[in-house]
Copies of this chain bind each other. A is one copy, B any other.
Amino acid sequence: MKYVIAIFQPDRLNDVMARLEQKEIHLVTVTNVMGRGRQKGVAAVYRSHKEAGSLLRKVKIEIAVNDEYLQQTIDAIVAGAHSGEIGDGKIFVLSLEECVRIRTSETGSVAIG
């Protein structure tokens, strides 16, 4: 099982979610984050006090999937989040050792979906 973490532009969230739906990947956790990447943040100014390269709003999604779903998950995210511009973001894949569904206490692959 894999634990996929993707960070991308907030305004892409709807597209990404839609793409995942299509691939039947329904379960997703979304978090509001800020990111500093290639795309240098615009400096904010408060009463002429410059805030060094401020962080930009990004959104992070986490998806636990079974190995066979990994590729299409990545594809769906890329398809939804890609704009070709700096700031598009990243996808990270970690290996997932165990998964438990709280409602049923099922564990392992079955619990993921």
Contact between B8 and A102 (Cβ–Cβ < 8 Å)? yes
Q: A30-B35, A38-B26, A105-B78 are in contact. Are A98 and B93 (CB under 8 A)?
A: yes
Stoichiometry, copies per complex: 3
What is the CB-to-nearest-CB distance from A15 to chain B, in angstroms, rounded to a whole number?
12
Q: How far is the CA of A71 from the CA of B68 in the complex (A)?
A: 27
Q: How far is the CA of A13 from the CA of B83 in the complex (A)?
A: 30
Interface size, A (range):
35 or more
Q: How far is the CA of A34 from the CA of B30 in the complex (A)?
A: 5
Tell me which residues across on chain B come within 8 A of A74, comparing CB atoms: 100
In the complex, A44 has a CB within 8 A of chain B: no
| Of the residues B30, B38, B97, contact of A2 by C-beta under 8 Å | B97
Contact between A99 and B94 (Cβ–Cβ < 8 Å)? no
Contact between B96 and A93 (Cβ–Cβ < 8 Å)? yes
Q: How far is the CA of A77 from the CA of B99 in the complex (A)?
A: 13
Residues of chain A at the chain B interface (Cβ within 8 Å): 2-3, 5-8, 14, 17, 26-38, 52, 55, 58, 60, 62, 64, 74, 77-78, 81-103, 105, 111-112
